[in-house]
Amino acid sequence: MRLIRPLVETLHAYVPGEQPKIRGLVKLNTNENPYPPSPRVLRALRAAIDGRLRLYPNPTSDALRERLAVLHGCTPDHIVVGNGSDEILALATRAFVEPASPTEKKPRSKTARPPGATLVQYFTPSYSLYPVLADIHGAVRNPVPLKPGFRLPTVTDLRRGGRWRFDAALTFVTTPSAPTGCGYPRAALEALCANQRGVVVLDEAYVDFAAENALALALRYPNVLVARTFSKAYSLCFQRVGYAVASPDLVAALHKIKDSYNVNGLGQVAALASLDDLDYYRANFARVRATRGWLSERLGALGFDVTPSQTNFIFCRPPHFPAEDWFRQLRERRVLVRWFGARDVRDYLRITVGTPAEAKALLRAVRTILRR
């Protein structure tokens, strides 16, 4: 008897960025925040480590949801907390998309349209987890290319292009985008959301480094869910806390299907304490933005084609030889950046904005490579 489902046998898992075992690398590959969590967060965590670890945590992260509701000017029933925002994205896939039958996944004729209820739609390039979530769920992927320069297509563009599905059960939009770092105007996102009949997830993992956000759309449109995370902006990747803001109906659906105790207790403590020290984090956002501007300029001067960034990373096309070689040569010089092999991005490197010292180390390595 077969032990593993055929779907799982053929899956390609998501490939996370490397977490190197060797020390002393300049680690600019996974968009972690270069600054530590606030001292208040570390104190709150230490104070929470005692005999109470034997108890289950609050199953729905209520204290955190109440605080987030105040922050965002809504009620807690608009908020669901996840084990990282990756869990929010997975829950949305499971709650809003019908798995396709095997025949729908491989239509016999090229003109056969899969039903919208089975579609997970996203732009390319964007977060490479979306197709993996679609595949795990047995849904049908609908990747649609961005415009040249990684710009967001308008609704008119999408209608003309013919590939976009306004009836897709679920559409993921990374905003500001990854891996490109491009910001999308809120008005353009609103036009997109208003024309989609299914759910639109606005994945705002990097929004704290951007000039604007689209949270208001989650409170205005019943089909819009904004996903946020404490990982990047709040220096809490290790703790795994993310959340969604959406209409109470969508939120209730995610609450129904999540694991009972999906967010660990220390994660809830850390996230809550972060919100007590927003000034500390806002100062960090400003530092990251300043380093981003400076590093973008320097890389540009060295011949890199730098995409303007609204995030804590820089997406750039390096000069003279292939990006993959740059990736390897930088690694030999102990600087770790990210290179993706997909056709539409293989000429680029994604470089996390670190501290000024890390940025300088990167530039030193780049200059050494250029001299050879």
Binding test (CB under 6 A) with ligand PLP, winner from 229, 247, 291, 309: 229
Type of residue numbered 257: I
Q: Which is nearer to ligand PLP, 243 or 304 (CB)?
A: 243
> 122-126, long-range: CB within 8 Å, 24+ apart, which pairs?
122/171, 122/172, 122/173, 122/174, 123/152, 123/153, 123/173, 123/174, 123/177, 124/342, 124/344, 125/150, 125/179, 125/180, 125/340, 125/342, 125/344, 125/345, 126/172, 126/173, 126/174, 126/177, 126/178, 126/179
Other CB atoms within 10 Å distance of the CB of residue 5: 10
Alpha-carbon distances, residue 76 vs 72, 101, 145, 173, 218 (angstroms): 10, 37, 36, 24, 13
Chain positions 158 to 177 lying near ligand PLP, rule: CB under 6 A, are 174
**Binding segment toward ligand PLP, per CB under 6 A, in 38-46, 69-77, 103-111, 231-239:** 231-239
**What is the Cα–Cα distance from 191 to 186, expressed in whole angstroms?**
9
Is 84 near ligand PLP (CB under 6 A)? yes
Q: How far is the CB of 311 from ligand PLP (least distance, A)?
A: 9
Bridge partner residues of 306 (DSSP): 316
Q: Which is nearer to ligand PLP, 168 or 201 (CB)?
A: 201
Strands 349-352 and 313-317, by their bridges, are antiparallel
Residues sharing a CB contact under 8 Å with residue 288, sequence separation 6 or more, in sequence order? 33, 34, 209, 312, 353
Is 86 near ligand PLP (CB under 6 A)? yes
Q: How far is the CB of 143 from ligand PLP (least distance, A)?
A: 15
Binding test (CB under 6 A) with ligand PLP, winner from 121, 171, 196, 231: 231
**What is the Cα–Cα distance from 255 to 147, expressed in whole angstroms?**
36
Binding test (CB under 6 A) with ligand PLP, winner from 74, 132, 140, 205: 205
Length in residues, the chain:
372
Binding test (CB under 6 A) with ligand PLP, winner from 29, 33, 38, 85: 85
Q: How many residues bind ligand PLP (CB under 6 A)?
A: 13
Q: How far is the CB of 116 from ligand PLP (least distance, A)?
A: 24
Is 127 near ligand PLP (CB under 6 A)? yes
Is 203 near ligand PLP (CB under 6 A)? yes
Q: Provide the 3-class DSSP secondary structure of residue 242.
A: strand
Binding test (CB under 6 A) with ligand PLP, winner from 74, 80, 178, 189: 178
Q: Which is nearer to ligand PLP, 270 or 366 (CB)?
A: 270
Instruction: State the residue number with the nearest CB to ligand PLP.
Output: 84
Q: Which is nearer to ligand PLP, 29 or 365 (CB)?
A: 29
Chain positions 284 to 313 lying near ligand PLP, rule: CB under 6 A, are none
Q: Which is nearer to ligand PLP, 86 or 135 (CB)?
A: 86
Alpha-carbon distances, residue 260 vs 76, 255, 306 (angstroms): 18, 9, 44
Q: How far is the CB of 90 from ligand PLP (least distance, A)?
A: 10
Bridge partner residues of 243 (DSSP): 81, 228
Binding test (CB under 6 A) with ligand PLP, winner from 188, 216, 237, 302: 237
CB 330 within 8 A of CB 323: no
Q: How far is the CB of 369 from ligand PLP (least distance, A)?
A: 27
Residues that bind ligand PLP (CB under 6 A): 84-86, 127, 174, 178, 203, 205, 229, 231-232, 237, 242
